[in-house]
Amino acid sequence: MERFRLQEMEDQERYRADQSPCTVCCCFCSSDKILCKSLHFRINALVEQEVKRRLFEERVQREKERRMEREREKQEREQELAKIRKAHDKELQRLKEKYEARCVSVDKCL
């Protein structure tokens, strides 16, 4: 009787070993462990490929955002320079008018 119980326990242990979850994904792959490992290798490769693709897309997106930010800053600088040029031109025009007015009044005085 004891021998029968030991044999039954060993059989159960072998069954569990055959039906145990895969160490990679916890699936029950009792029939073809090599196929399962090959499948897991392929899945891991696909996951790694997807991660790399997403990281690349994030880098591209960050670079686009940086480029847009630089372009926006460039436009702001150009607008500021345009304002300064316009103010400078107005000041020159005002000084010319003031100078011309003086010249006209000096000519009248002579």
- Contact in structure between 29 and 11 (CB atoms under 8 Å): no
Instruction: Report the 3 state secondary structure along 13-27.
Output: HHHHHHHCECCCCCC
d(CA 87, CA 81): 10
> Per-residue confidence of the chain (110 residues) as pLDDT tens digits?
566 666 666 666 655 555 445 554 555 555 556 666 778 888 889 999 999 999 999 999 999 999 999 999 999 999 999 999 999 999 999 999 888 888 777 666 55
pTM beyond 0.75, yes or no: no
Residue 37 neighbours by CB under 8 Å, 6+ apart? 24
